[in-house]
Chains A and B, each alone.
Chain A
Amino acid sequence: MDFRPSSAQQMLVATAREVLRKECPPELVQRLALDPRGFDDTLWRRLAELGWPGLLIPPEHGGSGGSLLDVILLVEEIGRAGLPGPFVTSAVAGTTAVLAAAEADARRRLLPALATGERLVTLAVLESSASFDVDAVALAGAVPGRLTGSKLFVPDAHVAHDAIVAVREQGDVSLLLLPLDRAGLARLPLDTMSGEKLFELTLDGVAVSADDRLGRAGEGRRPLAAALTAGALARTAEMVGAAQRVLELAVEHARTRVQGGRPIGGHQAIQHACADLVRDVDAARGLLYAAAWRVAEGLAAEADVAMAKAYAGEACLAVARRGHQIFGAIGYCEEHPLHLLHKRIHAASLDFGDTPLHLETVARAIGLA
Chain B
Amino acid sequence: MDFGRSPDEEAFADEVRRFLAEHPPERFPLDGVDAGYGSGAHSHAFMRALGERGWLAMCWPEAFGGQARPMFLKLVLLEELALAGAPFGPLAGSWQTADAIIAYGTERLRRELLPAIARGEATFWQGYSEPDAGSDLLALTTEAKRDGEHWIIRGHKIWSSHAGVSTHGLVFTRTSREARRSRGFSMFVVPSTTPGMDIRPIRSLTGDIYHYEVFLDEVRVPADLMLGPEGEGFVALLNGLDSDRFWGRFYKAPALLRVLRRLVDYANTTVVAGAPLARDPVVRRRLAAMAAEIAALRLLFYRAACLLRDGAPITYETAVAKVYADETGQKLARLGLELLGPWGVLRRGSRAARLDGDIAHAYLTSLGHTIAGGTAEVLRTTVAVRGLGLPAEPKAR
As a 0/1 sequence over residues 45 to 72 of chain B, the CB contacts with chain A under 8 angstroms (1 = contact) are 0000000000000000000000000001
A6 touching B1 in the complex, CB below 8 Å, given contacts A266-B392, A290-B299:
yes
Q: What is the bound-complex CA distance between A284 and B387, given in angstroms?
A: 18
For A4, the chain B residues whose CB sits under 8 A away are 1, 306
A362 touching B296 in the complex, CB below 8 Å, given contacts A251-B388, A369-B276, A369-B278:
no
The residue from B288, B323, B391 contacting A255, defined by CB atoms under 8 A apart: B391
Check: A5 CB closer than 8 A to any chain B CB: yes
Q: What is the bound-complex CA distance between A69 and B1, given in angstroms?
A: 9
A278 touching B316 in the complex, CB below 8 Å, given contacts A265-B391, A266-B391, A283-B324:
yes
> Do A368 and B3 touch (CB < 8 A)?
no
Q: Kindly provide the distance from the CB of A7 to the nearest chain B CB, expressed in whole angstroms.
A: 12
Interface 9-mer from B239-247, B279-287, B343-351: B279-287
Measured CB to CB, the nearest residue on chain B to A283 is B296
For A284, the chain B residues whose CB sits under 8 A away are 296
For B300, the chain A residues whose CB sits under 8 A away are 282-283, 286
Check: B190 CB closer than 8 A to any chain A CB: no
Check: B103 CB closer than 8 A to any chain A CB: no
For B377, the chain A residues whose CB sits under 8 A away are 268, 272
The residue from B3, B5, B268, B384 contacting A274, defined by CB atoms under 8 A apart: B384
> Do B285 and A356 touch (CB < 8 A)?
yes
CB proximity to B under 8 Å, residues A334-369: 356, 359-360, 362-363, 365-369
Q: What is the bound-complex CA distance between A267 and B303, given in angstroms?
A: 29
Q: Kindly provide the distance from the CB of A259 to the nearest chain B CB, expressed in whole angstroms.
A: 13
Which residue among B299, B300, B320 has the maximum number of chain A CB atoms within 10 Å of its CB? B299
A276 touching B380 in the complex, CB below 8 Å, given contacts A282-B320, A283-B297:
yes
CB proximity to A under 8 Å, residues B27-83: 72
Q: Kindly provide the distance from the CB of A293 to the nearest chain B CB, expressed in whole angstroms.
A: 5
> Do B381 and A268 touch (CB < 8 A)?
yes
Measured CB to CB, the nearest residue on chain B to A263 is B391
> Do B292 and A1 touch (CB < 8 A)?
no
Q: What is the bound-complex CA distance between A314 and B293, given in angstroms?
A: 11
Q: Kindly provide the distance from the CB of A308 to the nearest chain B CB, expressed in whole angstroms.
A: 8
Count B interface residues, CB 8 Å.
52
Check: A254 CB closer than 8 A to any chain B CB: yes
> Do B72 and A251 touch (CB < 8 A)?
no
Measured CB to CB, the nearest residue on chain A to B376 is A272
Check: A37 CB closer than 8 A to any chain B CB: no
For A263, the chain B residues whose CB sits under 8 A away are 390-391
Measured CB to CB, the nearest residue on chain A to B293 is A311
> Do A1 and B302 touch (CB < 8 A)?
yes
For A251, the chain B residues whose CB sits under 8 A away are 388-390
As a 0/1 sequence over residues 273 to 308 of chain A, the CB contacts with chain B under 8 angstroms (1 = contact) are 011101100111011011001100101000010011
CB proximity to A under 8 Å, residues B339-397: 377, 379-381, 383-385, 387-393
Check: B202 CB closer than 8 A to any chain A CB: no
A362 touching B288 in the complex, CB below 8 Å, given contacts A266-B393, A268-B393, A274-B390:
yes
For B333, the chain A residues whose CB sits under 8 A away are none
Measured CB to CB, the nearest residue on chain A to B310 is A4
| Interface of A: prevailing SS | helix
A368 touching B267 in the complex, CB below 8 Å, given contacts A268-B377, A271-B381, A311-B293:
yes
For B305, the chain A residues whose CB sits under 8 A away are 1
For A278, the chain B residues whose CB sits under 8 A away are 316, 320, 383, 387-388
For A363, the chain B residues whose CB sits under 8 A away are 284-285, 287-288
Check: B289 CB closer than 8 A to any chain A CB: yes
Q: What is the bound-complex CA distance between A293 and B299, given in angstroms?
A: 13
Measured CB to CB, the nearest residue on chain B to A279 is B320
Q: What is the bound-complex CA distance between A284 and B317, given in angstroms?
A: 14
A275 touching B1 in the complex, CB below 8 Å, given contacts A283-B299, A307-B292, A360-B288:
no
| Interface of B: prevailing SS | helix
The residue from B278, B289, B306, B320 contacting A359, defined by CB atoms under 8 A apart: B289
> Do A294 and B3 touch (CB < 8 A)?
yes
Check: A262 CB closer than 8 A to any chain B CB: yes
The residue from B4, B296, B320, B385 contacting A1, defined by CB atoms under 8 A apart: B4
Q: Kindly provide the distance from the CB of B234 to the nearest chain A CB, expressed in whole angstroms.
A: 23
CB proximity to B under 8 Å, residues A1-32: 1-6, 9
CB proximity to B under 8 Å, residues A314-349: 314
Q: What is the bound-complex CA distance between A276 and B387, given in angstroms?
A: 12
**Chain A interface residues toward B at CB < 8 A:** 1-6, 9, 69, 251, 254-255, 262-263, 265-268, 270-272, 274-276, 278-279, 282-284, 286-287, 289-290, 293-294, 297, 299, 304, 307-308, 310-311, 314, 356, 359-360, 362-363, 365-369
A255 touching B72 in the complex, CB below 8 Å, given contacts A286-B303, A368-B268:
no
Q: What is the bound-complex CA distance between A85 and B157, given in angstroms?
A: 62
Check: B255 CB closer than 8 A to any chain A CB: no
Q: Kindly provide the distance from the CB of B229 to the nearest chain A CB, expressed in whole angstroms.
A: 32
> Do B306 and A2 touch (CB < 8 A)?
yes
Check: B112 CB closer than 8 A to any chain A CB: no
> Do A271 and B380 touch (CB < 8 A)?
yes
> Do B292 and A271 touch (CB < 8 A)?
no
9 closest residue pairs by CB, A with B: A286-B299, A271-B384, A362-B288, A275-B383, A265-B390, A275-B380, A283-B296, A307-B292, A363-B284
For A282, the chain B residues whose CB sits under 8 A away are 300, 303, 317, 320
> Do B303 and A368 touch (CB < 8 A)?
no
Q: What is the bound-complex CA distance between A126 and B324, given in angstroms?
A: 36
Show 6 residue pairs from A and B whose CB-CB distance is below 8 angstroms, ordered by the A residue.
A255-B390, A278-B388, A279-B320, A283-B299, A307-B291, A368-B283
Measured CB to CB, the nearest residue on chain B to A304 is B295
Q: What is the bound-complex CA distance between A284 and B385, given in angstroms?
A: 22
Q: What is the bound-complex CA distance between A308 and B3, given in angstroms?
A: 14
Q: Kindly provide the distance from the CB of B40 to the nearest chain A CB, expressed in whole angstroms.
A: 23
Q: What is the bound-complex CA distance between A270 and B292, given in angstroms?
A: 27
Which residue among A263, A266, A284, A369 has the maximum number of chain B CB atoms within 10 Å of its CB? A369
Measured CB to CB, the nearest residue on chain B to A255 is B390
For B3, the chain A residues whose CB sits under 8 A away are 1, 289-290, 293-294
Q: What is the bound-complex CA distance between A284 and B292, given in angstroms?
A: 10
For B223, the chain A residues whose CB sits under 8 A away are none
Q: Kindly provide the distance from the CB of A357 to the nearest chain B CB, expressed in whole angstroms.
A: 11
> Do A1 and B2 touch (CB < 8 A)?
yes
> Do A272 and B381 touch (CB < 8 A)?
yes
For B139, the chain A residues whose CB sits under 8 A away are none
The residue from A5, A279, A365 contacting B324, defined by CB atoms under 8 A apart: A279
Check: B101 CB closer than 8 A to any chain A CB: no
Measured CB to CB, the nearest residue on chain B to A9 is B1
Measured CB to CB, the nearest residue on chain A to B276 is A369
Measured CB to CB, the nearest residue on chain B to A308 is B292
Check: B260 CB closer than 8 A to any chain A CB: yes
Check: B264 CB closer than 8 A to any chain A CB: yes
Besides A311-B293, A367-B268, 5 new A-B residue pairs in contact (Cβ under 8 A), listed by A number: A279-B383, A363-B284, A363-B285, A363-B287, A369-B279
> Do A366 and B264 touch (CB < 8 A)?
yes
> Do B1 and A5 touch (CB < 8 A)?
yes
